[in-house]
Amino acid sequence: MSDVQAPEAVNQDLGSLIGEALRRRIRRRAGQAERYGGDFAELWAQMAEHAAGGKLLRPRLFLDTAEALAHGRVLDRDLLIELGVGIEMLHYAFLLHDDVIDRDFRRRQGVNLLGEVRDAHPAPQSEAARRWGTAVGILAGDLMISEVHQIFARARVRETAGHRLLDLLDDTIQASVCGEAADVGLSVGAVDPTLSAALSMTQYKTATYSFELPLRAAAIVEGADEVTESALTAAARHMGIAYQLQDDLLSAFGDPQRHGKESGSDFREGKQTPLIAYARTTDWWPQIADCLGRGDITGHDTATAHNTEQLRALLRDCGAEQFIHNLLTQHLSALDHLLEGSSPISAEVRRVLSVHSDAMRGRSV
């Protein structure tokens, strides 16, 4: 899970309000938290700054799709902004838990919430400080998920739509947790590390909450028919898998100053991504396996950066990098096919999805 440059929102006015609304909501919670002590209120304030620091890809996709599905009808701006905030808060909750699992203390080209809390400890380099930072990361993520449920439950929509939104949120969280659990299970040998298992993990971990949730939520709010919602679900899955495959390539081969992921963290954690799952099937695997899961794989100094570059070279030589590039291209081509003129998705919505998929294609290592 990572952050990328978001495309220009079709409705730039609504999109620009999401960050402000997100900060206001979390700061309001910080004020309410004062009764539990200043430290707890300060945690909410810290979350406000970190949560609002992303590119808002998911809420923008939701807002743009909702406007396109409205076909010129007057939009309920307050409702859309509130649900957009909930979608972004869920993303941030998953980022927090992801950072805890991956033992990452940096994100978005700086320290993340875990790192900020760790560094504020009297002994910031100690194991106690790291435990404190990760514990706060878990609890902050839990608070965010609770807040998302509040937002979806209180959405001012007709009753049947409200129930569908809550069911969608529940399905999204279930699938994302399953995807994250599979990710960890693959890494620690609890799940058979086949390419099929790695690709299923990719769909559940990213496609469901990053693309299916925004697109289906927009369809529910705007009253789209079942055929349209089904087509949007299919498009979301192709977008999500392509996005995560690209994220794996960026994490493995990209510049952390551009994509915000700590260099070598996936290698250090021994993550069994589709990239690694393919490498397992090649003659290069014994050399690659020897490099994975090593604590000295980071990008912070010359010696450890050399270890990372050695592993990158092996993944290129065995054909894993090219295989993932080809698979990514297949999913983007399938998305293009879905967006052709015969699609049940309207021209307005196809334009929105094309803008977002073009932005995805623009991501580079």
CA–CA dist 125, 53 (Å, integer): 25
Cα–Cα nearest to 214, from 192, 252, 243, 194: 243
Average of pLDDT values for 132-158? Answer: 95
pLDDT of residue 308: 82
330 or 12: which leads in pLDDT: 330
pLDDT at 12: 54
Q: How many CB atoms lie within 10 A of CB 62?
A: 27
In a domain, 1, yes or no: no
166 domain-assigned: yes
Contact yes or no for 324/274 (Cβ under 8 A): yes
Q: Which domain holds residue 28?
A: 12-361
DSSP string, 140-180: HHHHHHHHHHHHHHT--S-HHHHHHHHHHHHHHHHHHHHHH
What is the CB neighbour count within 10 angstroms for residue 27?
16
Q: pLDDT confidence of 260, banded at 50, 70, 90?
A: low
pLDDT for 343 equals 80
How does DSSP assign 204-248, residue by residue? IIIIIIIIIHHHHHHHHHTT--HHHHHHHHHHHHHHHHHHHHHHH
**Tokens representing residue 219 in the block:** 């369809």
Of the candidate ranges 185-189, 259-263, 287-291, the one whose mean pLDDT is the lowest? 259-263
The answer to whether 60 and 360 have CB atoms below 8 angstroms apart is no
Instruction: Give domain status of residue 5, yes or no.
Output: no
Q: pTM for this structure?
A: 0.88
Structure confidence at residue 6 (pLDDT): 46
Identify each DSSP E strand in 54-203 by its residue range: 106-107, 110-111
Higher per-residue pLDDT: 265 or 205: 205
Tokens 């941030």, located at residue: 92
Residue 336: the pLDDT is 92
What's residue 262's pLDDT?
Answer: 59
- For residue 296, being part of any structural domain is answered with yes
> Looking at residue 45, which CATH number applies to its domain?
1.10.600.10
- Please list the residues that pair with 111 across neighbouring strands: 106
Q: Which residues pair with 107 in a beta bridge?
A: 110
Q: What is the pLDDT of residue 178?
A: 96
Does the pLDDT value for residue 151 go beyond 60? yes
Count of Cβ atoms closer than 10 Å to residue 350 Cβ: 18
Compute the average pLDDT of residues 166-178. Answer: 97
Name the domain count of the chain.
1
Distance from C-alpha of 126 to C-alpha of 120, rounded to nearest angstrom: 12
Distance CA 241, CA 113 (A): 27
Q: What integer pLDDT is reported at residue 300 of this predicted model? A: 46
Q: Which residues contact 331 (CB under 8 A, 6 or more apart)?
A: 238, 239, 241, 242, 245
Residues, the chain, total?
A: 365
Alpha carbons 265 and 296: distance in angstroms, whole number: 10
Rounded to 5 degrees, φ, ψ at 107 are -165, 155
In a domain, 333, yes or no: yes
Specify whether the CB–CB gap between 239 and 357 falls below 8 A. Answer: yes
| Mean pLDDT (whole number) for 297-308 | 55
Residue type, 329: T
Top pLDDT among 302 and 214 is at 214
- Percentage of the chain beyond pLDDT 70 is 88
Q: Cα 332 vs. chain centroid, distance in angstroms?
A: 18
Average pLDDT score over residue span 339-353:
88
Is residue 246 in some structural domain? yes
Q: Are strands 110-111 and 106-107 parallel, antiparallel or unpaired?
A: antiparallel
User: Who wins on pLDDT, 288 or 74?
Assistant: 288
Mean pLDDT to the nearest integer, 245-274? 78
Partner residues linked to 146 by β-bridges: none
Count the neighbouring beta carbons within 10 Å of the beta carbon of residue 135. Answer: 13
Mean pLDDT computed over every residue of the chain: 87
Question: What angle in degrees, to the nearest 10, is found between the helix axes of 213-221 and 159-188?
Answer: 170
pLDDT digits (tens, 9 = 90+) for 6-63: 454 445 566 678 888 998 898 888 888 999 998 888 888 889 888 877 788 999 999 9
